[in-house]
Structure 1
Amino acid sequence: MAKVLDKFLLFLFSLVVLIAALVALFAAFGWISLETTMLFTEHVYRNFDIAIPFIAIAAVTGLLALRFLYVSVRRGKSSVPSIDQRTEFGDIRISLDTVENLALKAASRSRGVRDLRARVKVNQSGLEIVIRAIVDGESPIPGLTEEMQANVKGHIEDITGIPVAFVSVFIANIQQSAPTFKSRVE
């Protein structure tokens, strides 16, 4: 919604600037006489009813200019968070979503994992990865979590080349398997 509104405001701002530029060009080429300009300016200065639209247009144009200045200077929230690296050949940007998917892929290789979620943060020492998992309860949890940590750290460092500071694994629950009933044959 904000992008559509910004496009509309940019259209209005561009229209006002275009009209002002055309008036300035017409005046510079003498297509608008000096007497007409002086008479019009005198009406604006002396007649408050004529001055009100100019005040409104100037205020709106000023606000639009401030809005576009703000939009051009601020860091866009719409841009995808990424990790930027510079190589001898150019820049590389890897989105955090990509790193999360790589972490999920590596963590899912461990046996006994049923449901996974990943969250990645970037800090000075490298990536901080938090894995939330639901396990089946058949495998020992300490061994399972160590395996997941090693898999995630190794996989992400191998694929992306970005150092992983730590991998935290949170076992949220144990999934209960449905009981199986064996039928008795007599």
Structure 2
Amino acid sequence: MAKIMDRLLLFIYSLSIGVISVVAILLLSGAVPYTLTSVQEQRLFWAGIIVAAVLFLLSIRFFYISVRRDRSNLNSIDQRTEFGDIQISVETIENLCLKAASRVRGVKDLKSRIKVSQSGLDIAIRAVVDGEESIPTLTTEVQKQVHDFVEDTTGIPVSSVSVYIANVVQAPSFKSRVE
């Protein structure tokens, strides 16, 4: 919703600056009668023409940005099958990674990042562990779970799964109160 509002505001800005620039160019170029009485006014005249022209060029650029289709947010992995094309968004694959990694006991606060390469997906998982189990064993299990789950679910080959352990969470200890 915010992107739609931003684009609408940019569109309105572009149109208004464009109209103001055209009016200023017409006034300052002499298309509309205007008298100059001194050298300073003539310098102001040329400065005004330059500023108006630059604003007009900027408004054309902004207008183009507001109208064109934004392709940067359409990150997806495309596959072709005998029945047609399949597009899976990178966000979907990130969520699948988080789902698979969360199945491993002792792993918390997960984040994932996907890079698409020629050999397949490069997946990076950031996690916090509880410290109850061996970290090498945990990370190996996370790598296997994520690798197998993503490949089985999407059919896209996974070239690597990197796991970064950001921290160890201390388990809350409860003290019993003796009276």
User: What's the TM-score bracket when you normalise by the shorter of the two chains?
Assistant: 0.5 to 0.7
Aligned position for 2:162: 168
Residue 181 of structure 1 deviates from its aligned partner by: 1.9
Aligned position for 2:151: 157
Residue 63 of structure 1 deviates from its aligned partner by: 7.5
Instruction: Please state if 1:3 is matched with 2:7.
Output: yes
Pairwise mapping of residues 20-169 of structure 1 onto structure 2 (< 5 A)? 48-50=30-32, 76-77=71-72, 79-169=73-163
From the superposition, tell whether residues 67 and 172 of structure 1 become closer, same or farther in structure 2 (CA, over 3 Å): closer
Residue 182 of structure 1 deviates from its aligned partner by: 3.4
Instruction: Letter of the 1:93 partner, please give it.
Output: Q
User: Partners of 2:119 and 2:172 in 1: how far apart?
Assistant: 44
Aligned position for 2:40: none
Q: What stretches of structure 2 of length at least 5 have no aligned partner?
A: 17-28, 35-52
Write out per-residue CA displacement over residues 112-147 of structure 1, whole angstroms, 9 at most, x where no aligned residue: 112111111111111111111111100111111000
Residue 76 of structure 1 deviates from its aligned partner by: 2.7
Question: In percent, how many aligned pairs have the same letter?
Answer: 49
Instruction: Letter of the 2:170 partner, please give it.
Output: Q
Q: What stretches of structure 1 of length at least 5 have no aligned partner?
A: 13-46, 53-58
User: Partners of 1:147 and 1:76 in 2: how far apart?
Assistant: 36
Larger CA Rg, structure 1 vs 2: 1
Aligned position for 2:23: none
Q: Residue 79 of structure 2 contacts residue 85 of structure 2 at CA under 8 Å; is this kept in 1? A: yes
1:166 match: secondary structure: strand
Instruction: Letter of the 1:105 partner, please give it.
Output: K
